[in-house]
Structure 1
Amino acid sequence: MFKNVFNDYYVKDISNKTRSALAARARAGKYLSSGIYGYQKDPENKNQLLPDPETAPVVRRIYSMVVSGVSFRSISRTLSAEGILTPAAVKGVIPRKETTRPTDWSPVTVASIIRNPVYLGKLVYGRSHKVSYKSKKVVATNEDHYIVTEGTHEAIVSQNVWDLANEVARRHKKVSGTGDVNIFSGLVFCQDCGSSMNLSRNAYVCYRYRNFSTSENGCSSHRIPYKLLYASVLGSVQEVTAEARRDRDGLIAKLSGIGQKKQQAALAAARKDQGKTEKRLAEIGELIRKAFEKNVLGSLPDDMYNGLVTGYTKERAELAAHLETVTEQIAELTKEADNATQFVELAEQYVDVKELDRDLLHRLIDRIEIGESYKEDGARCQKITIYFRFVGKL
């Protein structure tokens, strides 16, 4: 029995050491797997990834198709019809079923590519783990325990494209029996209850109203005809894209929340404050060091030393808190300006737009909220709030 216990301890120890070694290599940015679709291993360094000239374009195309609103199932069917080898086939993995062809893509495979951050040029290790060294069961790991190493290899897609593809993929997309795509699907929400609004008989209606009517858990219909929504959104898009062409810098300044000069002045003042605070923190560190040396040499009495260190420590804590606040302020001011610039650059791509499509809508707009209709001077009125990407509602 003692021998069994010792063997069990030995196996467990080896397992822990192996995990630790792999984790250390992951932190160092070394690729540890057998391969990833879209990349190939560097012939001179097996732990380094390089974009594969054959499969990287397929990855970019998949992201582009998702951003355009194409479903995972439609993408898998398209790739299969074109005879493109699956990731498993590229690896040389033998399929479990004899009837499975090397070009039979599945929606699950497409989804795994869209959700994999490796295409951003970073490695994420430990997304799943075995329950124990005695079991083969694998479970998902909490994101807090991931080992993420940035900039380990060349990215295949940009952060914006990756974010947008994953966001669009989360939105529900419906296709009618005739194959027509509902271009607003996943974008339209009830302004009052926050529920999604679904297309029914050429009009969008609140989901909660359809399911609960006006009961305690219900809502009102917030009904808006498809044609009215289309015309309203098209008009707003045309207005903002026209302004982007007419006065690019002015629009950026307006979208930044404050005037461009004021924003730059606030940013300069915050950075000056940051530098001043960092300088004082460094001075305090030096003062504490000198006080310690004098105390050790006997030229500074203990009571004076303790009083100085207490005061310096308090000031350092206050400065550290202030520095954190200033740093956050700088990040917010910078982000505000960057977001405005990103949106205007995006809007410039759709100048002179004549009609809406799903790709345009999901690239430019985060969500659309519909208020309940009401009468004003005998006319039907309804509030439509459009939240654009990066900048929110205008």
Structure 2
Amino acid sequence: MTTTKNYPDNITALYARLSQEDALDGESNSIANQKKILLKYATDNSFPNPTFFIDDGVSGVTFDRPGWNEMIRLSEAGTVKTVIVKDMSRMGRDYLKVGYYTESFFAERDIRYIAINDGVDSDKGDNDFTPFRNLFNDFYARDTSKKIRAVIRSKGNAGEHLCSNPPYGYIKDPADKKRWIVDEETAEVVKRIFDLCIAGKGPMQIAKILTADKVLTVKAYYAKRDGKAMPDNFYRWDYKSIAGILEHPEYTGCTVNFKTYSKSHKLKKRLQNAPENYRIFPNTQPAIIEEKIFERVQELRANKRRPTKTGRQGLFSGLLYCADCGEKLYFCTTNSFTPKQEHYVCSNYKSNTGTCSAHFIREETLKLFVLQRIFAVTAMFFDDIQSFQNAVYQQRFAEAEKAVKRQKRELEQARKRIAELDRIFKRIYEDDINGTISHERFLKLSAEYEAEQKELTEFVKAEQAAVDTYEQDRTDFDSFAAVIRKYVGIRELTPTIVNEFVKKIIVHAPDKSSGHRRQKIEIVWNFIGELSQDEDKQTIERQRKSRTA
């Protein structure tokens, strides 16, 4: 930054820059030392109106720096007549950009530039070594970037947190700065945000609720905690902040590294990495949000539910799907509708522009049906928990369990064979050294064994993933049981209850062939999927002449 606001017409720009990497070189590159050298040179050589332009803690590979930008702005206005730096690396470490400024920008505006330690002075003609210095400075930045990336990669692969500050809801452990502990005050806000999302609220709605309740924003909380100046509108939450919190898997207690990357050390823009390139380390800090709740929130966020123009939002919006075309059913209401008239219709049929039939169901009817099914499932659970559990396992896991037993046996055999191949490698290597077998024979055998071991390793990896998925499915029953116990005795449905019980509802087209309107509904429960029940218990039936569902 500059030290003055009112500049004279003819100034000598004394530019100093220091990055975090340069600071490792010691006092010689410090801002104070650079200012001392620059001012002495300007004074000794009688340069008029010396004015400092400073960028402290800014990398030389970028030219988007506050101090530099101010100096260039004044140069374009014709105010700057001379630019003095300690050496060419202070100007920057991108040899193309440095070359542009020294050979084109300054020359076109008749601005003299001087690099004291490098002996560069544009008034004394071209310095043949200057382009090489700029190139070496660029190489230095590239090499430093590689070293830093290697350190970061090592830390990331070891499961260390790569971000300098923990997310909202956590603080650094005073006894170990590498560990995160729960910040009880903000963790309660995080839990509330997730609860509101489970209750069917979107980020914008949640932001409005927190604002109305005068909850300090993230920025305001940190400012108050650290004794800094409070920002304007310190209760006004932004929906982007809410969305960011809802997308943080770290709240489940894990560390996720390498979520972003940059293409080059000269490009500071971070790009989203592919999920398969993430490194995830579980149980690295106390969890604020249960993993199942986090996963359910991600599912709800993927099926965004926006209020209608009336401001009302369907209780089952985002959960209903057409049995024939697979599209969602949209909530339909107007200001003139009574609650009994509000309904859902297939989006592929809506306004008669689609190709699907009229999959239609009233919300009041669906509320009653879903509530009855929850009562039925709850009764099945408490009447005989073991039988209920066996029914779920039999439906979901009977065939899978046979496959998993087979997979486990094959995994054990594959692992034994891999270990055996390691021993074989050692033996044939010793035979090759001793001359027991020819080197050609050794190469052929080792190639065959390596190919077999590689194939077995890939097999183990794939089969283990399948077994892990199965084991996870078995634990899902306990999660569903916890939901049932949580809502024993409910009398009406709320968005939270619906979202915790129901993953998906499939609506079939009505069948009127019998003279009655019969409509099949399938409920896919969270954690356990579908439950086989009597066909009649999954069907809504109404007389043709009565108000249809």
User: CA separation in 2, counterparts of 1:178 and 1:196?
Assistant: 20
Unaligned runs of 5+ in 1: none
Residue matched to 1:123: 255
Instruction: Report the secondary structure of 2:349's partner residue.
Output: helix
Deviations 1:50-81 (A, max 9, x none): 11122112111211121122232232222223
User: CA separation in 1, counterparts of 2:304 and 2:475?
Assistant: 29
Q: In the alignment, which of 122, 134, 150 is matched to residue 4 of structure 1? A: 134
Q: In the alignment, which of 261, 264, 288 is matched to residue 156 of structure 1? A: 288
Query: Cα distance 1:334–1:135, how it changes in 2: closer, same or farther (>3 A)?
Result: closer
Residue matched to 1:87: 218
TM-aligned CA deviation for residue 277 of structure 1: 3.6
Q: Normalising by structure 1, what TM-score? A: 0.84
Instruction: Report the secondary structure of 2:180's partner residue.
Output: strand
Tell me if 1:342 matches 2:482: no
User: CA separation in 1, counterparts of 2:466 and 2:459?
Assistant: 11
Residue matched to 1:374: 511
Query: Cα distance 1:228–1:279, how it changes in 2: closer, same or farther (>3 A)?
Result: same
TM-aligned CA deviation for residue 340 of structure 1: 3.4
Residue matched to 2:384: 247
Query: Cα distance 1:120–1:290, how it changes in 2: closer, same or farther (>3 A)?
Result: same
Residue matched to 1:206: 346
1:1-394 to 2 correspondences below 5 Å = 1-31=131-161, 32-92=163-223, 100-129=232-261, 132-175=264-307, 180-201=312-333, 202-211=342-351, 213=352, 217-257=354-394, 270-299=407-436, 316=453, 320=457, 323=460, 326-394=463-531
TM-aligned CA deviation for residue 375 of structure 1: 1.1
User: CA separation in 2, counterparts of 1:267 and 1:138?
Assistant: 41
User: CA separation in 1, counterparts of 2:153 and 2:278?
Assistant: 10
Query: Cα distance 1:152–1:334, how it changes in 2: closer, same or farther (>3 A)?
Result: closer
Instruction: Report the secondary structure of 2:506's partner residue.
Output: strand
Instruction: Report the secondary structure of 1:40's partner residue.
Output: strand
Deviations 1:250-301 (A, max 9, x none): 2222222459898777655643443344224323332342243234334456
TM-aligned CA deviation for residue 145 of structure 1: 4.0
User: CA separation in 1, counterparts of 2:256 and 2:390?
Assistant: 37
Instruction: Report the secondary structure of 1:37's partner residue.
Output: coil
Query: Cα distance 1:268–1:156, how it changes in 2: closer, same or farther (>3 A)?
Result: same
TM-aligned CA deviation for residue 359 of structure 1: 0.8
Q: Normalising by structure 2, what TM-score? A: 0.63
Query: Cα distance 1:276–1:18, how it changes in 2: closer, same or farther (>3 A)?
Result: closer
User: CA separation in 2, counterparts of 1:138 and 1:319?
Assistant: 37
Query: Cα distance 1:272–1:126, how it changes in 2: closer, same or farther (>3 A)?
Result: closer
Instruction: Report the secondary structure of 1:383's partner residue.
Output: strand
User: CA separation in 2, counterparts of 1:172 and 1:315?
Assistant: 48
Query: Cα distance 1:332–1:13, how it changes in 2: closer, same or farther (>3 A)?
Result: closer
* 8 A Cα contact 1:284 1:312, kept in partner: yes
User: CA separation in 2, counterparts of 1:138 and 1:310?
Assistant: 42
Instruction: Report the secondary structure of 1:208's partner residue.
Output: coil
Deviations 1:230-264 (A, max 9, x none): 22222222211211111222222222245989877
Q: CA RMSD in A?
A: 3.3
User: CA separation in 2, counterparts of 1:300 and 1:143?
Assistant: 47
For 1:33, the aligned partner's letter is: S
User: CA separation in 1, counterparts of 2:146 and 2:440?
Assistant: 50
Query: Cα distance 1:348–1:278, how it changes in 2: closer, same or farther (>3 A)?
Result: same
Which segment is superposed worse, 376-385 or 316-325? 316-325
* 8 A Cα contact 2:220 2:231, kept in partner: no
Q: Greater relative contact order: 1 or 2 (C-alpha under 8 angstroms, separation 6 or more)?
A: 1
Query: Cα distance 1:317–1:245, how it changes in 2: closer, same or farther (>3 A)?
Result: same
Percent identical = 27
User: CA separation in 1, counterparts of 2:405 and 2:355?
Assistant: 51
User: CA separation in 2, counterparts of 1:134 and 1:304?
Assistant: 51
- What is the number of equivalent residue pairs in this alignment? 388
Unaligned runs of 5+ in 2: 1-130, 334-341, 532-549
TM-aligned CA deviation for residue 196 of structure 1: 1.5
Query: Cα distance 1:178–1:247, how it changes in 2: closer, same or farther (>3 A)?
Result: same
* 8 A Cα contact 1:245 1:348, kept in partner: no
User: CA separation in 2, counterparts of 1:258 and 1:166?
Assistant: 26
Which segment is superposed worse, 355-364 or 310-319? 310-319
Which segment is superposed worse, 106-115 or 352-361? 352-361
For 1:66, the aligned partner's letter is: C
* 8 A Cα contact 2:319 2:505, kept in partner: yes
User: CA separation in 2, counterparts of 1:133 and 1:310?
Assistant: 40
* 8 A Cα contact 2:171 2:182, kept in partner: yes
User: CA separation in 2, counterparts of 1:81 and 1:325?
Assistant: 50
Q: Who wins on radius of gyration, i.e. which is larger?
A: 2
Which segment is superposed worse, 219-228 or 347-356? 347-356
Instruction: Report the secondary structure of 2:164's partner residue.
Output: coil
